[in-house]
Each structure stands twice: as C-alpha cells, then as structure tokens.
Structure 1
C-alpha cells in the first residue's frame, strides 16, 4: 500500500518518525548532487580550495540566518552528539547541571552532573534549578534541552537563562530537536552555547554544529589541523555543510510549514481520542513541538507496538532512536513520575512536511486494530 504524499522506506508506506531523522529534502539533494565529485578541501589555498571555502562559508551564513547568530560563531561538527560533547567538555567547568530528561548524548558526556527534576509534564522545576545553582560555590554550567525528542515538550529557556544569569552561570541548550520546528533566536536567547543538527530538518546525517556566544572560549576536544578557528580540528565535511545550509535555507523560506504540520498533529490526536477516549497523550496541555505526540497504549509494550505498526507499514518509534536499535524503558517518561506503564508503553509519533491526512487516518485505524488485537477484543 502506497499512500499519496508519503515517503517510501523499504517495505513501509508511511514514515512518521521525523524526530529520529528526516528524509533528505529534494532541494538539498539537488544541491548535493551539484557539488558531488568536486575536491572539497577548504584549507587548500588553490582555486578549488577557495571554491570549497566559499561553499563552506555560504552554508554557515544560511544556518546563521535561520537561528539569528553571527556566522563566525557556528562551529561545524559531525552531528548533535559531538556538538553536545564539545559544549560540555570544552567549556572547562567542573560543576555541571543538567535536567533528568536530557538526550543520552548530554547525560553520557556529563556523568557526574547534578540532575534537575521535572514535573509530571516533563518541564524542568525552576525552583529546584535555582536552589542547586545557588548552592554551588563557584562557576557552574547548565545544559538543558530546548525541546524534548521523545515528548516534544518545550523547556522555558528564557526563564532558565534568567535564573542562571543571576548567579553568573552559563547555559547550553541542546536544540537539535527544536531546530526548524519553532522559532530560534540565538542572539536574543542569552545562551552561551547551542547544539544543532542537519538531519532533523531535511539535511544529511553526519553534520551538526555548536553555536557559541562571542565571549565563549572553548577547549577543543579534537585537535590536529586547527580547522574551525582551532575549535574543532579535522577537514570540514563540505558536502554535509552544503546540505545543512540548504536545508536551513528551505526551512527559513517556508514558515507556514510548521503550522500545517501542527494542524495535522492536532487532527490526529483528536481523531484518536474520539475513537479511544481513554487514550493517554503525554504533556498534551503544555507547550510542545507541533509535530510530536507521545502516546501510551494501555496493556501493550512499546516494543510490541513498534513491531506491530511496522507490519502495518508504518514507521514510528518508542522514544529515542539512538540506542543501537534497542527498545528500552524511557528515562524521559520515568523522570516524569507518572507510573510504570507510560515508561514501557509509550510510542512517539512525529510528523513532517511530507505527512498527509490520509496517512493520519490509516495510523488511527491501525492503532485501534493493534490495541484490540493485543487485548483480545477481536
């Protein structure tokens, strides 16, 4: 079965896992094909090297336009994970504070960090954050994601920065999931650093960036040739950067895209709730990314759901997709302290620019079929 407007992935017809990765946008593919096969080393001083340098800096400017940042403050990395590691390990601060719902890339890079609790909706408890910062004798570094990859919950970054600033603390935000889905203004955010990635907005995998404020000094975690102004050595991934820049340009030129996707997500949740009034949609009444739904299916493990939906021709996931293909209890949902079942039975539906209402209808019908089958009601 192939539905109009959907992305064909292997034997699946419907792709609803945009928070894991996105399809490559057509505009990005065309840009990459144009540059493919060229000798792209921007450190070379000959004419082809200079062309590569111009391509690299153009990409930097395209990304800067999307997030309102000085282009020279964008450091290209191999992805969001490296950007997070560079921020946490290159910031040279021993006292690090994170939230309990951060991506594994942050939690693993800051194993000794103090963790701030979240409420039942997954929002950082600001009073606890202030108490922890005020108790630290000396400089500290706060890293809290802009939007959660599993639930879509948007954190109060403005208030977090205001609290941290009272005590002279710097703030980094993992904005990998937020990029392209909500407006981001780095200059006005008050953040010291921010991580972003291309493959969440229709760009290629293997390319990301750490954005830094003017006054930030980083100790590089990768040393060698001194690329990226000595902040990240290694020949730049020119093709990746070109794709990242083009994807950022496309997103910036299509502001109405997110509203259409949010309307589609809301329609999906409405239809599902009508068919199954007891459905539990996590964090439904707090600010969320407009494309994301985290849904608890009573009595059915997330792993079983993912496999069942796959057999129906639907690609979605159980929370984060960065665990070597393994489905495990969600540390994000566990941190929300809303019971055992949500931590094991929650799936994530994340829509994108290619999603359609026809696909939503098929998803709702499949959801009910899987639930009824699992609970032996048919």
Structure 2
C-alpha cells in the first residue's frame, strides 16, 4: 500500500505513458459480514479488464498485465483488513495499491492513462488532515477526514521513551533533588517533542502538506508549539490527554477544529468562480476548458466527483470525441484526462461532490488569463 501525495500523483502521470494502463476502483468495507463480498467484486472487475484488453489495440501481454491483479484477488489476508475504498493501478512496469478512507464507485478501465480521479479526489479534497496525539512518552499520527480517522504513524515511526523510568526519577526526595529531577524531565520532554516533530515533518507533512492538529494536554500544547518547525501545524488544537478518548471521540473533537477550515476553503473557491463568471475567466463548457487546459490557462479546475464522461481527447485536430459509454475500447474519462492535463501544467484540481459543484457539466474552470 502507498500513501497519496502530490509527488506520487505526478509520478503516476508520468507512468501513464507506459500503456496500456489498467485501473480498478471499488468500494470496500471495514468489517464482516459487509466485507465478505469485496473480494468477489474485485474478481468481477478483473473480468471487465480482461474483456477490455481483448478489444484493445496492440499486442499487450494480457496474462502478464493481469497477474498482479489476480494475485491480489486471491490474497485472503489483504481482504480481511480493508478501509472504505480501494484503487489498484497497473501497467507493464508498475503496480500500485491504495486503500482509501472514503468509498469510491466500482469501475474498471483499460486506457492509455491511469484513471486517477479517485486519487485526485482524496488528494484535492479540503477535508483531509493529520492528527498528532502526543504525550511525554508516546506519539501517534492519524490521517482523517470528516468521516474517518485512522492511524498512519505509531511506535515504529517515532522514538520511544521509557515512561516508567521517568516516574521513578520523579518520586519524592528532598527539594533540591525534586527540582533537579523536574528540570531533567522537562529537558527530556522537549528533546522527545523535537524528535517527534522532526519525524512528522520528514515522514508525513513535507509530502502530504496536510494541516496538522495537535492533541495533547494543555501544559504540553505550548511546549510543543514553541519548538515545532512544522509549517502545517494549526494554531488551534485539542487540549486533552489523547489516551482518554476512543478513536471516534477523537475524530469528533478534531473535526470541530477542522470543519470551519474545510467549509471556508470550499466556499472561497466557489465564490471566486461565481464572481468571475461573465469576465471570460470562468468557464464550464467542457470543450472550451479542454482548449484552455492545453494552452496552460487553467489556474483552478473543479471536477464533479460523481460524474464520468466517456470519450477521448484528440490532438489532430484538437477536439473531444464523445462515445456512448465505457464499453467502447478506446473510451477514457474525459473529466479525468482534462484534470491530469491541468495538473501537468501546474494548475490546481479540486474534486467536489455534485451537490456543491458550481456547474452541472462535470467541470468548471478559473483561468489565469
């Protein structure tokens, strides 16, 4: 399994030249008996890939391309521990598996590029965050959204401290000893916090650029913030002992911090689009946006998370050829392809649900000029 980052998405865009590219996305389930059908549904999606490969032009080694997918389909242990969604990508050189914290539509496609919209939605949605649950002797990092919170960094990620030894050193003695022990514990705590801060930055924040919410006792909030070099650490945290909360309780407390930030970002970007309408800098016509994307003019692209449009982008002449559905051997998701083009040109892609999309066409764009 791999974590999703902007750097990885760029790498996947580059890998898309090694076609044909096979993509599967499907909803999965965390617990029995709901997850009992996930493995069967994955096998059925592989059959759809086989059918598409049979119609695909070229001399692709079908057996070799499908081998890692079929191996995963038979890995019983893998299917016992699922999250809410799964994306599997493969071509002649690479094979990638992503477990997601949100459901995705069941979909299988063979194309010249990977179907990356499910990953772009995870990467570009503004409700994602990290949580650092911190004490003087332990640290756990979580990744979450409005619905889920899962650990991504635990004891193996961070340095370990022997809390029992600290307690022994802090047992009552004479006043001077107590002061010396207190000073020592403070120094050790600060040293440990620095090590945790460094690990979070290097292992997670630098790549993901997700906002970080600190959950720790009130007396540790100020200490950690004073020494932290993490530019993604939010000013507001949760001042409580994280070990006193179950995961779902922790998610609710953290979402109280994150929800206003999430809503503000989404509203601001949608308002920008609405204000730019009529100025020539806002467009929701798919064909026009495609031309602008080719010219590198798209600064921000909204993509409807719940829509797919079957077709292909042609270069001679520059136009979109729409086809009936994804059973067509050359069908790709036009919205996905335009989003990839925008990312390659240095633009930003924001994947949002249908109910808040500023248009009904499947996409909307803000132009640089």
Query: Normalising by structure 1, what TM-score?
Result: 0.27
Structure of larger gyration radius:
2
For CA contacts below 8 A with separation 6 or more, give which structure has more relative contact order.
1
Structure having the higher strand fraction is 2
